[in-house]
Amino acid sequence: MAPNDSAQITGGNDEAGDLPADRRRAARYVVPVAVAGVAAATIGLVPALAASGDPDLPKITAAQLIEKMAASDTERLSGTVKITTDLGIPSLGGLGGSAAGALAPKGGAGDGTDGGSAAEPTGRLMELASGEHTLRVATDGPDKQRLSILDSAAEYSLIHNGGEVWAYDSASNEAYHAEAPADAAKGTGKGKNGAHGKDQAVPRSLPATPQDFAREALKASGDTTSVTVDGTARIAGRDAYQLVIKPKQAGSTVGSVKVAVDSKTGTPLKFTLLPSSGGKAVVDVGFTKVDFSRPAASTFDFTPPKGTKVTEADESKAAGKDQIHKAPKGAKELGSEPNVIGEGWTAVVRLDTGAKAPTAAASKDMPAEAQQFMDALGDKVEGKFGSGTVFKTRLVNALMTDDGKVFVGAVTKDALVKAANEAK
Amino acid sequence: MSRAEVLEPGGGGGDPADGRRGAGAGAGAGAGTRPVSPLWTFGLFRSELTTTFRRWRTLALLGVLAAVPVLIGIAIKIETSDGGSVGGGGPEGGGGPAFLTQITNNGLFLVFAALAATLPVFLPMAVGVIAGDAVAGEANGGTLRYLLVAPAGRTRLLLAKYAATLVFCLAATLAVAVSALIVGALLFPLGDVTTISGTTISFGDGLVRAVLIALVVAASLIGLAALGLFVSTLTNSGIAAMATTVGLVITVQILDTIPQLHGIHPYLFPHYWLSFADLLREPFYWDDVLRNLGLQGVYAAVFGSAAWARFTAKDISA
């Protein structure tokens, strides 16, 4: 090294520009290129290698696996959950009104976050309905749960301990307090549009962990569903069976649902919902880390830090009522008389809004630009029922007819039109 | 200039920086006849360190960095003096840098807020100036070839310069953190710390976490320091190297905010910078912090070796 260096310093040697020296110089650049290559290969290969090692587990039938899940008595658990949702809609909070029926979670978010405290659970949990989030969950029996949404440099925690529910939002330093979960559920449920109110009770019945999603998926299944075991996988460092749930009926937008079930405890570790149209998963919820030992008791303790603004559930309920009055008339009436057509995966909900659809009313009330915007959002369709507009997401589609009826379901456009024709 | 003149310890008048260089290189020459001793590298490194930290420019940069927490602290004190809350207290409260809402309750949060505020712009700018100037500045001032007259070797010189830059990264971060701690203690109450998970830890634990966070923030700048050093070996103009490095920082930060480019985001060096806030969770959430440190390591290896390849093969004419 040293002689080489001192030779170069003089500069005289460099001017000679002989070939070996040039080659030696060029060779030096191999080092950074090689380092970059090794780094890229490591980043690319490590996940691939980690994913390829499917564990060897004894064969099991679908029925046995479901039994195992049902018998699972996992009461203590803590872990990190990654949830990715891609409904194929832009994350517009204010989309609410027109699409409230179709995008219940999204519409709910629009209504919920406006009411009072930034720490109120309903609105915050609805954020999970779009994008990618990292959650931390901990459970110790039925009385103690904790759910934290990890934001950038902030965290939103929902803590249920005995008769109390606390929510703490570190970004705004605000807390939300409710006496008992049942009351809280009632309070916030009222603020929702009726059809989905029961799904939005706080905090437990809102699906956030793979268990919740798996439970909902199995509840929906019946004769219309094929359930099979499809190999094994390694999720969060644990061996798991893959349960595949597929709708038998044609016309559903759900392609298949995959649930990875822990081979030892029977706890669902990962839930993936693939659309029938192919492409990326619509919902993908899975543990990235999981631990079945008892979480530290302090995990479930919460005392509002000094200086924190605390909103009580009662006040917030009042704010929620306010919201209802302010909510657009159409959205409120959407929930008035749901009517289910068909069953299983292709069930379509019919709602009579009574009012003319926005598209029809447009000529009077709506500026031309808004009219164009509405048209751009949906596809025009015609059938025996008349004509209407179909609003599409990757999972749920909604048909709004010009005479004010709304058909919503996790079905394709054609199936919606068929349902509308039959309902005529 | 003869070799003896340069190597004479502390010799020569003129620019004091050159005098110190002489001292460092002299120590190197003394050991040069023997097999390499660790002290030898250390002498060169020490000389680099004094050169860097005795510059007015460096001191001014540290001063500016230390002033940021003072500004934030005073602004919040004034805003909340009438009993109002930070950010207007709307439902979307908590705009601006993270942790602002917590400062009035606990002065220690000024440390975190100040680091969160300076990490995107001020800290990388300061590091970009120092790293960009490291080699190009010497070349520009005509002192680089005299440095290389000593049989220290280019690799060793480059390592010493990189080490000095890393020390500056740490010093810059500590300047922000210590100044924030002092201002926070003077203007706001101190006490038990509420983590962002809502749990409470003692003030002592909070201080430990503050130190840990400062170290992670300083380590977040390792990749940028290597990048700046590489840019610095490409040109003979100190100003051009500084401007390029700072420009790169800004460009990459902009790329990091474009959602359509999310595919490349995990490979951009500032992408995980704000992950230091994960150390304020209970329990710690290490995933992103480790990703950040790994990414900085990769950048340091790639651009450090690129700088080495360039510098050891370069024609030094100034």
Tokens 């100036």 belong to residue: B129
Q: Residue A99 has what pLDDT?
A: 35
Is there a domain that residue B258 lies in? yes
Which of the listed residues A294, A323, A352 is the one where a domain comes to its end? A323
Q: Is the pLDDT assigned to residue B298 strictly greater than 90?
A: yes
**Token digits for A291?**
């631990």
**pLDDT reading at B73 higher than 90:** yes
Claim to verify: residue A315 and residue A348 sit in the same structural domain: no
**Number of structural domains in chain A:** 3
Percent of chain B clearing pLDDT 70 (strictly above)? 81
> Is B248 part of a structural domain of the chain?
yes
Please tell me whether residues A205 and A109 are part of one structural domain: yes
**Which of B18, B36, B54 is a domain's end point?**
B54
Q: Is the pLDDT of residue A252 over 50?
A: yes
What integer is the mean pLDDT of A241-262? Answer: 84
Q: Which domain holds residue B29?
A: 1-54
**Quick one: pLDDT at residue A374?**
67
Do B33 and B170 belong to one domain?
Answer: no
Same domain as B287, residue B146: yes
Whether A203 and A235 share a structural domain: yes
Contact of A139 with A75, CB cutoff 8 Å:
yes
Does residue B246 sit within a domain?
Answer: yes
pLDDT at A268 exceeding the cut of 80: yes
The CA radius of gyration of chain B, in Å to the nearest whole number, is: 22
Rounded-to-10 torsion of CA B172, B214, A288, A47:
40
Domain count for chain B, please give it.
2
pLDDT in tens, B279-297: 988 888 888 899 999 999 9
Question: Going by C-beta distance under 8 Å and a sequence separation of 6 or more, which residues neighbour residue B235?
Answer: B136, B139, B241, B244
Number of Cβ within 10 Å of residue A322's Cβ equals 14
A74 and A149 assigned to the same domain: yes
pLDDT for the residue A413? 83
Query: Tens of pLDDT along B226-260?
Result: 999 999 999 888 899 999 999 999 999 999 999 88
> What is the residue type of A338?
P
Distance CA B213, CA A224 (A): 54
Flag the least confident range among A27-41, A76-90, A315-329, B101-115.
Answer: A315-329
- For residue A305, the chain B residues in CB contact (below 8 A) are 105, 194, 198, 200
My answer on whether A348 and A211 are in the same domain is no
Q: In a 10 Å sphere around its CB, with 0-12 CB exposed, 13-18 middle and 19+ buried, how is residue B55 labelled?
A: middle
Q: Using a CB–CB cutoff of 8 Å, tell me whether A297 touches chain B.
A: no
- Pick the most confident of A11-25, A170-184, B38-52: B38-52
Share of chain B above pLDDT 90, in %: 48
Pair A282, A408 in one domain: no
Query: Rounded to the nearest 5°, which phi and psi values hold at A209?
Result: -105, 160
Highest mean pLDDT among A107-111, B105-109, B217-221: B217-221
A89 and A213 in a single domain? The answer is: yes
- Tell me: do A289 and A377 sit in the same domain: no
Give domain status of residue B84, yes or no: no
Based on the fold, state whether residues A81 and A188 are members of the same structural domain.
yes
Q: Closest Cα of chain B to A252: distance in Å? A: 30
CATH number at residue A381: 3.30.310
pLDDT at site B301: 93
Nearest chain A residue to B307, by CA: A32
Residue A95 lies in a domain: yes
Question: What domain range includes position A399?
Answer: 337-423
CATH of the domain at A128: 2.50.20.10
What is the greatest pairwise CA distance in chain B? Answer: 72
Nearest residue to A155 (alpha-carbon basis) of B197, B209, B193: B197
- Model confidence at A87: pLDDT above 60: yes
**Same domain, residue pair A398 and A254:** no
CA distance A29 to chain B (A): 5
Interface test with B, best of A28, A136, A173, A301 (most B CBs within 10 A): A173
Both A79 and A32 in one domain: the answer is: no
Burial of A219 (0-12, 13-18, 19+ CB in 10 A): exposed
Q: How many CB atoms lie within 10 A of CB A51?
A: 10
Single pTM value for the model: 0.73
B contact test, residue of A4, A5, A166, A316 with most B CBs within 10 A: A5
The helix (run of H) or strand (run of E) holding residue B180 is: helix B154-187
Task: For residue A98, name the pLDDT band (cuts at 50, 70, 90).
Answer: very low
Residue A331 lies in a domain: no
On whether residue B188 sits in a domain, the answer given is no
Measured between beta carbons, which residues in chain B are less than 8 angstroms from residue A174?
93
Quick one: B7 and B152 in the same domain? no
Same domain, A157 and A35: no
**Averaged confidence pLDDT in chain A:** 71
Provide the 3-class DSSP secondary structure of residue A349: strand
A13 in any annotated domain: no
In a domain, residue A328? The reply is: no
Determine, yes or no, domain membership for A396. Answer: yes
Is residue B236 located within the same domain as residue B128? yes
At A49, the pLDDT band (50, 70, 90 cuts) reads low
Interface residue of A172, A298, A310 to substitute, partner B, most B CBs within 10 Å = A172
As a whole number of angstroms, the distance between CA A387 and CA A400 comes to: 9
> A1 or B149: which carries more pLDDT confidence?
B149
Residue B222 pLDDT greater than 60, yes or no? yes
Q: What pLDDT shows up at residue B234?
A: 92
Q: Are residues B128 and B276 in the same domain?
A: yes
As a whole number of angstroms, the distance between CA A211 and CA A287 comes to 10
- Where is the domain boundary, A273, A288, A323? A323
